[in-house]
Structure 1
Amino acid sequence: MGTPIGDLIETEKIDLSKLAGKTIAIDAHNILYQFLTSIRGPDGRPLMNAEGDVTSHIAGLLYRTSNLIEAGIKPVFVFDGPPSALKKATLEKRREIRTSAKVEMEKAIEEGDLEKARSMGARAISLNKEMIEEAHLALQSMGLPIVQAKQEGEAQAGELVKEKKAYAVATQDYDALLCGAPIVVRNMGVTGKRKLPYRNAYVNVEPELFETEKVLHQLKLTQKQMIWIGMLVGTDFNEKIPMIGPKKALKAVEGKKSFEEVLAGLKKTVDYNPEEIEEMFLHPVVFKDVEIKQTKMDREKVIAFYCDKHGFDHVRVTNALNKIEKKPEDEKQTALSKWG
């Protein structure tokens, strides 16, 4: 998901306390995928209830979000709207990858190869309509703000930051940078130690932040040139050019005035309209001046949804809800009472 330009981006490791008191526009689909891929069993299968329904996504929403709010963060969840026509080919390719990965996962489970099963399980994850509806219901019951994007969630979240209705976009996708989101926070959904596939080694996952203006200044690029790099290595709207990674793409765009000039220097051609892709990032399809609405938590509804319907532990759910409703010591109002 998104464009693979992370190797070029210098980020700042941060503690969540740095974001205390700030509204963060969370790319909802992106963070739900994080929950689905990280909250899984040893065999790669996601968390499920007694009926076999996947619950990893709603578990993450409750427990991770309660921790964010306890840290003083004010989350706003921005959900994707209908995809653009340019993205349909990418979505179809992802479906094919998931189908193949699911077959490989089941085969690995049968063979007792749990390492491979878990690796394939991450690729087999899908976020369907029912899961999204459940996420909406869970968040609304908790009284947390939801924004429906016109198209791409990270672009709509970026618009909230541009309009100063939020401090930063929270997403794993670097597409937010291409869309011009002023500040981006990564690793909001999952932190801690993560095991590397097929290796007895772990990496520490911490929240990190970057500012688009600083990134462009450090790389000596314009916004358009940054978009061209994305186009060369692949975005949600176009295929990558083979044998070109982020560093080679950076060299290719330096000093160039147009994408046609970039392609000429690489002696490459593309089968799409570059200007159309540029436009998707320079002027993303978003709603303007969206109102962020916060409502009161319906505790009984939350407990009925999590405990009665999905079999979550009542004590754990109650503890999470207490975090959401808890009054921070340094504020006169609750963490949910002021959104801005």
Structure 2
Amino acid sequence: MRLRIDVWGIAFLGVVGWDFIHYTTDDIKIEPPSLAIDVPNYFSRRLAVRRGTSRKPMPYLSIALKLAEGLLERHILPVFIFDGPPESLKRQPNPELLRSARRLYKRYLDTRDPFDPHITTSLSDSPALSMYFMAFHLKDVLAASGVPTITAPSEAEMTAAALSRANRVGSVLSNDIDTLLFGSPQLTKGISISKGTMTYATLSQLKQELNLDLIQLRDLAILSECDFHDGLRNVGPRRGAIQLKRYEDLEGVLRANGVPHSEIDSFIVARNTFYEADRIDPFMFELTLRPPNASQLKRQLLPLETNKTVTKRIKGLTWAWKRFGRKQTTLEEIC
């Protein structure tokens, strides 16, 4: 399988060659008014863009808090979703790396020194380690800010899709097409709070574009190469779509292309990964906004920002929380 994650942790589209996805840019409108955020995907993209432009340590905190405050101001509940144990077909778990990140984060909590040379050197030497460290740090800061966070049973985009499919969130912020294949009705590739716009694609548009149902789209992902399988040689998404219409399903296409029975099993096992999203209970997760904890936020942010900046952030989050709460109460009274 071609490696589709660069050294800075940037995930590509999850599937290969699906450049026909139709994205629409329009005013922000998310119903129900809650947005699931695929943390590893979204933050790796944002950090890659910022790399080299600023020497500010741990910039992910500013990104997260600005996003949370901006969404709350628009009466949209942000739900930050973190990866759990990875799918084995995508990558093997690395418990030692996780333990190393936890040790580094504990050291940071003890020293509160964002310029600690041991920490900064370790993180710069291992992008994967820095992503785990970021996850530990973000979970603590977001919990203090009051917004809901979820550690997924597996891939973040899988749980996000389950929430979206159950209408617990209105969209998923990610550029991983797998999110649609896991069943999310909508995928938001980008959102600009300042401009009031979002760029999104929908599962219904994708079905219409290829004239395939969701089951066939999942088959197509396996045929044309994705995170879970290398795919069928010389079969891209366009050719794969034609063959699926002719032979109906993945097994039919594989048999028509002379794939030995002994090799078909690996395709089926990979396809089953997409169906794991259907078995996630979307109502097992609590999506509750709580008031910001000012003292915890100060403790987390003061090593990184001035007292004036931290105070401004806390006031902004508190104001957004109060407005969001009033809006929710009004809606409940109407209902």
Q: Map 1:269-284 to 2 at 5 A.
A: 273-284=266-277
1:83–1:265 distance in 2 versus 1, CA, 3 Å? same
CA contact (8 A) 2:32 2:168 kept: no
Q: Which moved more, 1:245-254 or 1:137-146?
A: 245-254
Structure-2 residue corresponding to 1:34: 45
1:301 corresponds to 2:296: yes
The secondary structure found in structure 2 opposite 1:84 is coil
Deviations 1:38-82 (A, max 9, x none): 22215xxx7553xxxxx1322211223322333332111111211
TM-score scaled by length of structure 2 = 0.72
Deviations 1:19-47 (A, max 9, x none): 387111111222221232122215xxx75
Paired with 2:61 and 2:42, the residues of 1 have a C-alpha distance of 11
Q: CA deviation at 1:313?
A: 3.9
The secondary structure found in structure 1 opposite 2:217 is helix
1:83 corresponds to 2:78: no
Query: Given the alignment, which residue of 146, 149, 154 partners 2:157?
Result: 154
Q: CA deviation at 1:170?
A: 1.6
1:259 corresponds to 2:256: no
Query: Given the alignment, which residue of 3, 23, 33 partners 1:22?
Result: 33
Structure-1 residue corresponding to 2:24: 12
Letter in 1 for 2:26: I
Unpaired runs of at least 5, structure 1: 50-54, 96-123, 193-205
The secondary structure found in structure 2 opposite 1:24 is strand
CA contact (8 A) 1:303 1:317 kept: yes
The secondary structure found in structure 1 opposite 2:191 is coil
1:167 corresponds to 2:170: yes
Structure-1 residue corresponding to 2:326: 333
Q: Map 1:286-325 to 2 at 5 A.
A: 286-290=280-284, 291-308=286-303, 311-325=304-318
- Give the number of the structure whose residues are more often helix, by fraction: 2
TM-score scaled by length of structure 1 = 0.71
CA contact (8 A) 1:183 1:211 kept: yes
CA contact (8 A) 1:12 1:208 kept: yes
1:257–1:171 distance in 2 versus 1, CA, 3 Å? same
Q: CA deviation at 1:243?
A: 4.5
Q: Map 1:26-175 to 2 at 5 A.
A: 26-42=37-53, 47-49=55-57, 55-88=58-91, 125-126=127-128, 127-175=130-178
CA contact (8 A) 1:72 1:328 kept: no
1:248–1:337 distance in 2 versus 1, CA, 3 Å? farther
1:71–1:190 distance in 2 versus 1, CA, 3 Å? closer
CA contact (8 A) 2:15 2:221 kept: yes
CA contact (8 A) 2:222 2:231 kept: yes
Q: Which moved more, 1:159-168 or 1:5-14?
A: 5-14
Query: Given the alignment, which residue of 197, 220, 234 partners 1:229?
Result: 220
Paired with 2:84 and 2:132, the residues of 1 have a C-alpha distance of 12
1:296–1:227 distance in 2 versus 1, CA, 3 Å? same
The secondary structure found in structure 2 opposite 1:186 is strand
1:305–1:9 distance in 2 versus 1, CA, 3 Å? same
The secondary structure found in structure 1 opposite 2:176 is coil
1:332–1:62 distance in 2 versus 1, CA, 3 Å? closer
Paired with 2:193 and 2:323, the residues of 1 have a C-alpha distance of 26
Identity within the alignment, % = 20
Aligned-CA RMSD value = 3.5
Paired with 1:7 and 1:190, the residues of 2 have a C-alpha distance of 26
Deviations 1:153-209 (A, max 9, x none): 1111111122221111221100011111122211138999xxxxxxxxxxxxx6312
Q: CA deviation at 1:337?
A: 10
**Matched residues, number:** 285
Deviations 1:92-111 (A, max 9, x none): 9xx9xxxxxxxxxxxxxxxx
Q: CA deviation at 1:136?
A: 0.1
Letter in 1 for 2:38: D
Query: Given the alignment, which residue of 176, 185, 188 partners 2:188?
Result: 185
Q: Which moved more, 1:131-140 or 1:182-191?
A: 182-191
Deviations 1:124-145 (A, max 9, x none): 8435322111010110010010
